[in-house]
Structure 1
Amino acid sequence: MAKPNDKRTMKIHLNNFLLMGCVIALFVLACQQQSTDRRRALRLTPAFITQQLDDAVAQIKVLADHVPADRMPRTFQADTSVSSDTEWWTSGFYPGSLLYLYEYSGDEALLQLAKDKLTILEKEKYNKGTHDLGFMLYCSFGNALRLTGDTAAYKEILLTGAESLISRYNPTVRAIRSWEGWTYPVIIDNMMNLEFLTQASKLSGDPKYRDIAITHANTTIKNHYRPDYSSYHVIDYNPADGGIVAKKTAQGAFDESVWARGQAWGLYGYVMMYRETGDKTYLDFAENVAAFILNHPNMPDDGVPYWDFDAPDLPDESPYAADYKANRDASAASILASALIELSTHTAGETSAHYLTKAEKIVESLSKAPYKAESGTNGGFILKHSVGSIPHGGEIDVPLTYADYYYIEALMRYKRLLEG
């Protein structure tokens, strides 16, 4: 027979158990309600997203017919397909796009096309002459590992590539060197390589890759951004003491201008860093960067930015402007859409809805004329009207492989939201 104190103890345990059960039930209900509320807030329909992804599958098969076996697609210019070798910084986007569309469609032909391209891309894991290995290897082999789970095939490639990338890290500068030349240049694009390093730590169990990613992100916050949360393109450092030699905007209109794709790279990078670290500093910073971009008076109503927010001779109205000085950049828009969709998942209430609404507008704009190409045209690229570098006279008003990659990624991220 239980003693009175034993009965009292049993009753306390029972009450605690029931209380815990209620808390868990309320938590589950709250999560279900949040998921339901998010789905109700989604404005783009499953049919719309499915149509865009179906069109992307059809178009990338057209593109495949234009790509030499030993090359990667880059752009389509003057009715001519332009490809690159695997050393070019955009070489990972085509296999990455194939893998995203395989994930969507289950079409094994797309997976095989991707694997064929991964075979010629693998040697870039030894490339220590570029900082772009996140684009080149993580968008490609990272997606392959995620979708296939084949660590035997892809783990060594990714970790060797991560070692090549961190060979460019200087602990005095506390950042990864971008280009050769200059003194020690670091560009805002480099934020897009940091996801590769965070994943390398997960794969290897070695925190050094993640630590370098965090240090680089913090250095970029400190030195790349102006008080209004716009970013310079390039910070040139003194590698001996970490001091700043110059602040430049090489691909923008002028040094103090706001190069649109650079702003999108930065936003995407800090949203990702919050996801990978849980450090709210990165979330707060990403929201400030987003506010600058979305509230800029020169942001067009359709959400597709001009190549530079401060470019000369911007038209008072848009549709798409013929003057190259006022070109829109669909690549900046696609990166921005993908980043905003993810940012909406890390925020709540009206804030989340605001980011999602802006992303939806961009996706809608990119999914129709004048930005989306008609099926079978545009050399097989999905989007038109992107800009490589106007100051260098390169890839002006053309399709670009990375514009398509981030557009597909945005569609896939939105599809996941629709699926709850």
Structure 2
Amino acid sequence: MRYTFLFSFLISLQSFAQKPSVNASKQLDYCVAQLKKAVPEQTDYAREPRRIPAGQKNWNTVAVTDWTSGFWPGTLWYAYEYAKDPFLKAKAEGFTESLATVLNKPVVDHDLGFQFYCSYGNGYRLTKSPAYKKILLRAADSLATLFNPKVGTILSWPRPVPNMEWPQHNTIMDNMINLELLFWASKNGGSKKLYDIAVSHATTTMKNHFRPDWTSYHVVVYDKQTGRKIKGVTHQGYADNSMWARGQAWAIYGFTMSYRESGRNEFLETAQKTADVFIKNLPADHVPYWDFNAPDIPDAPRDASAAAVVSSALLELSTLVKDKALQVKYRAEAEAMLASLSSDTYQSHAVNNAFLLHSTGHKPNNSEIDVSINYADYYYIEALLRLNKLQEAEK
């Protein structure tokens, strides 16, 4: 058995060595250069860049209340972390601090984690600003008000959304990412109940969001009084029984993070199972179509944002699993994704001022198809930073 394992591990190493390599620092330099083209165009801190449609160079912006509003300042913080450029820091501060007004109104959905942990969270990590910490704790407490103890999850859309049987309780897979704000707050001066809410949400999602093959529903609708599962829906995917690429990406990332924060083995196992089915069904260039079951493959739109999310998650997962062969597998797949994303096919360069091309937002709604989008850039630079730290450590 010992020699069988060794042989398998050596084969995995050989396979890893044959994967396209990524020079993380070179690609981070590219990201910083792209940002320095884009930032001078953004002079209104109350408007956050969200997308660049085909044929345009500059970012279209949205109000700070938009669910994606934290990704632009988060990207600036990541760029500052790498480049140590005071200009980038000042811009990150301006776009971050404009988000504070979001907390002055009643919570309209679950996306406070995306909005505040990506922006204020990275800002606090790098500056230790007491003001940033205070905002993060406020955001966590606001997010916790959407928790329904009868169901065991945070309500995602506290308003009528088609096919969600409002006023029943709905939870979307994206919400797994917002748990990081609660985990952080519970360990940094917030209530310990925030940790319990995060664990409850992840556990309930783990039990109800997955099909037997570990592909995921985008949404599960629950009876708000009893917690009974009413149905699973794939709101932004091709069909209710299809694997929507970014939904599966949120699952991989969310359960990897939840294991890191809680140490619960069932979350690690879920992260692995959701990652394995994603990897198994990828096309040759390792960048998924917007939905793995789209009927018009290979002509269906790609989703670079899903690849960016998963590449970042897999790099972390490779450091959390104990099996050496799995460490190699997940690291190799992450680098293969990043190699494609870093190619001329997916990088923007002179096409526009983003990092990446070819993301898909909401295909069934005919919204943001084949565009550059802020969360693709955010998770791409996050993945490159993670890879850069691994490569620097190996030196």
Structure 2 residue identity aligned to 1:108: P
- 67-76 or 104-113, larger mean C-alpha shift: 67-76
1: CA distance between counterparts of 2:144 and 2:101?
17
Is the CA contact 1:231–1:262 (under 8 Å) kept in the aligned structure 2?
A: yes
Higher-RCO chain (CA-CA 8 Å, sequence separation at least 6)? 2
**What is the aligned counterpart of 1:293 among 278, 281, 285?**
278
SS, match of residue 61 in structure 2: strand
1: CA distance between counterparts of 2:307 and 2:119?
21
SS, match of residue 247 in structure 1: strand
2: CA distance between counterparts of 1:118 and 1:261?
25
Structure 1 residue 44: Cα displacement: 7.2
2: CA distance between counterparts of 1:237 and 1:161?
25
**For residues 320-359 of structure 1, what are the alpha-carbon distances to aligned partners after superposition, in whole Å with 9 as ceiling and x for unaligned?**
x4xxxx1100000000100000000012311100001100
Tell me if 1:358 matches 2:333: yes
2: CA distance between counterparts of 1:288 and 1:61?
39
Tell me if 1:267 matches 2:245: no
Tell me if 1:411 matches 2:389: no
SS, match of residue 246 in structure 1: strand
Is the CA contact 1:90–1:136 (under 8 Å) kept in the aligned structure 2?
A: yes
Structure 1 residue 68: Cα displacement: 4.1
Show the counterpart of 2:307. Answer: 333
TM-score w.r.t. structure 2 length?
Answer: 0.90
Tell me if 1:314 matches 2:292: no
User: 5+ residue gaps in structure 1?
Assistant: 1-36, 316-320
TM-score w.r.t. structure 1 length?
Answer: 0.85
Q: Give % identity.
A: 45
2: CA distance between counterparts of 1:281 and 1:56?
36
* Greater radius of gyration (CA): 1
Show the counterpart of 1:104. Answer: 82
Show the counterpart of 2:119. Answer: 140
Structure 1 residue 156: Cα displacement: 1.1
Is the CA contact 2:19–2:336 (under 8 Å) kept in the aligned structure 1?
A: no
Structure 1 residue 62: Cα displacement: 1.5
Is the CA contact 1:125–1:158 (under 8 Å) kept in the aligned structure 2?
A: no
Tell me if 1:123 matches 2:139: no
Tell me if 1:91 matches 2:65: no
Which stretches of structure 1, 4 residues or more, deviate above 4 A after TM superposition? 40-46
**What is the aligned counterpart of 2:147 among 169, 173, 176?**
169
**For residues 364-401 of structure 1, what are the alpha-carbon distances to aligned partners after superposition, in whole Å with 9 as ceiling and x for unaligned?**
000012110124x31x1110000001100100000000
2: CA distance between counterparts of 1:42 and 1:300?
18
Show the counterpart of 1:201. Answer: 186
Q: What does 1:230-249 align with in structure 2 at a 5 Å threshold?
A: 230-249=215-234
**For residues 220-266 of structure 1, what are the alpha-carbon distances to aligned partners after superposition, in whole Å with 9 as ceiling and x for unaligned?**
01111111111000111111111122211110001111100000000
Is the CA contact 1:271–1:286 (under 8 Å) kept in the aligned structure 2?
A: yes
Structure 1 residue 184: Cα displacement: 1.6
Number of residue-to-residue matches in the alignment: 367
User: 5+ residue gaps in structure 2?
Assistant: 1-12
Show the counterpart of 1:76. Answer: 52
2: CA distance between counterparts of 1:342 and 1:86?
29
2: CA distance between counterparts of 1:156 and 1:41?
46
**For residues 4-36 of structure 1, what are the alpha-carbon distances to aligned partners after superposition, in whole Å with 9 as ceiling and x for unaligned?**
xxxxxxxxxxxxxxxxxxxxxxxxxxxxxxxxx
Structure 1 residue 278: Cα displacement: 1.0
**What is the aligned counterpart of 1:386 among 359, 367, 370?**
359
Is the CA contact 1:126–1:160 (under 8 Å) kept in the aligned structure 2?
A: no
**What is the aligned counterpart of 1:368 among 343, 352, 374?**
343
**What is the aligned counterpart of 2:33 among 58, 63, 77?**
58
Show the counterpart of 2:42. Answer: 67
Structure 1 residue 190: Cα displacement: 0.3
Is the CA contact 1:42–1:418 (under 8 Å) kept in the aligned structure 2?
A: no
Structure 1 residue identity aligned to 2:272: E
The root-mean-square deviation of aligned C-alpha atoms, in Å, is: 1.7
**For residues 300-336 of structure 1, what are the alpha-carbon distances to aligned partners after superposition, in whole Å with 9 as ceiling and x for unaligned?**
1111000000011112xxxxx4xxxx11000000001
Structure 1 residue 416: Cα displacement: 0.9
